[in-house]
Amino acid sequence: ANRMAERAVDVIKILMTQGQMATINDVIDADTAELIAIELGHTVKRVSESDVEEGLFDVPSEDNPADLRPRAPVVTIMGHVDHGKTSLLDAIRQANVVSGEAGGITQHIGAYQVEQNDQQVTFLDTPGHEAFTAMRARGAQATDIAVLVVAADDGVMPQTIESIRHAKAAEVPIIVAINKIDKPESDAQRVRTELLQHEVFVESMGGDVLDVEVSAHTRQGLDKLLETILLQAEFLELKAVPEGRAEGLVIEAKLDRGRGAVATVLVQRGTLRVGDILVAGTEFARVRALINDKGEQVKEAGPSTPVEVLGFNGVPSAGDRFSVVENDARAREVTEYRQRAIREKTAGGGATSLEQMMTQLKASGIAKFPLVIKGDVQGSVEAIVASLDKLGTDEVSAQIILSGVGGITESDVTLASASNAIIIGFNVRANKQAQELASRDGIEIRYYNIIYDLVDDVKQAMSGLLKPER
Ligand code: GDP
């Protein structure tokens, strides 16, 4: 603010509208600083790394490679119902409970960590793409790798396909776990072949998706699965800054009779400690105790570690970002500000309509037009997708996040919400839950029964986007 000759409060306001809470004494990362400077109409020039070496920036930061340390991958298990997601999560966990360790008793806190070859892997305990995408719809991405479970006796099923789409939309790499390999009728090769149709190409089929044959029942292949996850993680070069105030995500929260409001958080950077004051969404906590997935009290938790936090004043929501702040007063100030913002927003109404999207896109200069398309028959869906693809120019193009046959479901709405997309129904309607969710999240659903009308509307919207304003 000083160097731009702007008021500090204006800088903080912009940070807050972006959901980042900062105070005048906080250090923000260079990317954020750049965005803010641009937002305020200034020109930014990045200085060299030597400034860092000279100690001008001695606060730990993602921008200083020396501060970065490898971190454990965070994994979500997805797949069709009854293909063995829960069994696999349980089997992996049990295999890793060292006998004698807290009597072998494990604690379900929403995520757990296991060790393989001295390296940690973090598993989110709520399987399925719904939780994953619900988080993403709130702007939170916890997952680094998706393990897609496909039962070898059943093959690719509707929710397998949905999971693939959701993982792809989030650009999270997939590892295929071909489960129930112990069953005599299992056919792993058939699974690999079926996956081809959904653009998941495993290595033996000439692609680069890793696959492992497993059995949650006999525990065959579990080590190999963990090793494969670590291999994939190595490709991703996952790193985080373990120093400094903790930040991360709430992955589960509840009101516990004996213990009050508790939340499980996943630390993403920095280190969370007992005694810290943290803000999560509209709630805050003075951390009274931290409990790990083995039910043990711990003093601190670093990047990629899930811990249960005791000491919340209220129950935060899964998907809320949390950050440690310097004191109570700040925590109150931030949560009150957010509560007010929410009240104002709910009074003011929804988010994505075709027109609002145009305005937003214009402002951001991104000429991608995200759409979710659902239709009654494959033929018309293909025709619509082909026509929309043709509309694209160098400056703007339709980005079809998902296209498929069938009614509009909740899952479609969550995906649209995560990607800021509009939903188009061709000769299909949205079910009641989907309608409710869409109106709650302010997602526009448009219905058509003539392809020409549909394409024409999108075209008009896109040309509106291109109309020169200068
Ligand atoms: P989810 O719905 O994907 O979480 O699936 P579950 O973990 O609940 O498993 C569904 C059913 O498949 C249960 O009856 C499990 O006992 C069974 N199952 C899961 N994994 C295996 C496996 O590796 N082999 C066999 N034979 N059955 C399995």
By the 8 A CB rule, do 398 and 419 touch? no
Range with top average pLDDT, 51-65, 108-122, 174-188:
174-188
Q: Kindly give the distance from the C-alpha atom of residue 150 to the centroid of ligand 1, in angstroms, as a whole number.
A: 11
Q: Is the pLDDT of residue 227 over 80?
A: yes
Structure confidence at residue 367 (pLDDT):
65
The answer to whether residue 262 scores a pLDDT higher than 80 is yes
* Structure confidence at residue 211 as a pLDDT band (50, 70, 90): very high
Give the highest mean pLDDT range of 113-117, 273-277, 443-447, 465-469.
273-277
Q: Is the per-residue pLDDT at 192 higher than 50? A: yes
Residues 6 or more apart in contact with residue 30 via CB below 8 angstroms: 46, 61, 63
The stretch 274-298 carries a mean pLDDT of 93
Q: How far apart are the first and last CA of the chain?
A: 29
Mean pLDDT across 20-35: 78
125 annotated as a binding-site residue: yes
Tokens of 263: 């939340």
The amino acid that residue 404 corresponds to is G
Q: How confident is the model at residue 378, as a pLDDT? A: 83
| Complex ipTM more than 0.90, yes or no | yes
Determine if ligand 1 sits within 6 Å of the CB of residue 157: no
Per-residue model confidence as pLDDT tens digits over 339-360: 877 776 555 444 455 555 555 5
Q: Is 83 flagged in the annotation as binding?
A: yes
Residue 113 · residue 72 · CB < 8 Å? yes
Q: How does the average pLDDT of the chain come out, rounded?
A: 84
Question: What is the largest distance, in Å, between two alpha-carbon atoms of the chain?
Answer: 73
Q: Is 79 among the annotated ligand-binding positions? A: yes
Least confident range from 37-46, 187-196, 204-213, 245-254: namely: 37-46
- Average pLDDT of the segment spanning 419-447: 89
416-422-423 Cα angle (round to 5): 80
- Whether 112 and 106 have beta carbons less than 8 Å apart is answered as yes
Q: What is the pLDDT of residues 86-105, one digit of tens each?
A: 999 999 998 776 554 544 55
pLDDT of 256 higher than 80: yes
Distances (CA, A) of 137 to 109, 141, 160, 370, 420: 22, 9, 20, 14, 8
Distance (angstroms) between ligand 1 centre and the Cα of 312 equals: 36
* pLDDT exceeds 70 at position 464: no
**Residue 129: band (very low, low, confident or very high) from pLDDT cuts 50, 70, 90:** confident
d(CA 296, CA 102): 8
- Give the confidence band of 47 by pLDDT, cuts at 50, 70, 90: low
Beta bridge mates, 176 = 148, 211
pLDDT winner (highest mean) among 77-91, 127-141, 346-360, 427-441 = 77-91
Higher-pLDDT residue of 96 and 192 is 192
Compare 88 and 32 and report the one with higher pLDDT: 88
- Give the H/E segment covering residue 88: helix 85-95
Minimum CA distance residue for ligand 1 atom 11 = 82
- pLDDT band, very low/low/confident/very high, at 197 (cuts 50, 70, 90): very high
200-204, 238-242, 458-462: range with lowest mean pLDDT = 458-462
**Residue 33 C-alpha from the chain's centroid:** 23
d(CA 43, CA 36): 10
Structure confidence at residue 358 (pLDDT): 57
Q: How far from the centroid of its chain's Cα atoms is residue 64's Cα? A: 25
pLDDT of residue 469: 35
Structure tokens at 442: 């302010």
Which one is predicted more confidently, 18 or 432? Answer: 432
- Residue 166 marked ligand-binding: no
Ligand 1 atom showing the smallest separation from residue 214 Cα: 23
Q: Mean pLDDT throughout 23-27?
A: 76
182 CA → ligand 1 middle, Å: 11
What's residue 354's pLDDT? 59
Identify which of 87, 153, 163 to mutate to test ligand 1's pocket (most ligand atoms within 8 A of the CB): 87
For tokens 């105070």, the residue is: 23
The amino acid present at 235, given as its one-letter code, is F
260: left (phi over 0), alpha (psi -120 to 50) or beta: left
Asked if residue 216 has its Cβ within 6 Å of ligand 1, the reply is yes
**Coil, helix or strand at residue 382:** helix
* pLDDT, greater one: 224 or 317: 224
Q: Which candidate, 356, 384, 383, places its Cα nearest to that of 372?
A: 384
DSSP structure string for 324-369: EES-HHHHHHHHHHHHHHHHHHHHH--SB-HHHHHHHHHHHT--EE
| Residues 280 and 321 sit within 8 Å (Cβ to Cβ) | yes
Burial class (CB in 10 A: 0-12, 13-18, 19+), 324: buried
184 versus 66: which is more confidently predicted?
184
Q: What is the DSSP string of 256-278?
A: ETTTEEEEEEEEEESBEETT-EE
> CB-based contacts of 330: which residues, under 8 Å, 6+ apart?
23, 277, 279
Task: Tell me which amino acid residue 445 is.
Answer: I
Distance 86 CA to ligand 1 centre (A): 7
pLDDT band (50, 70, 90) for residue 337: confident
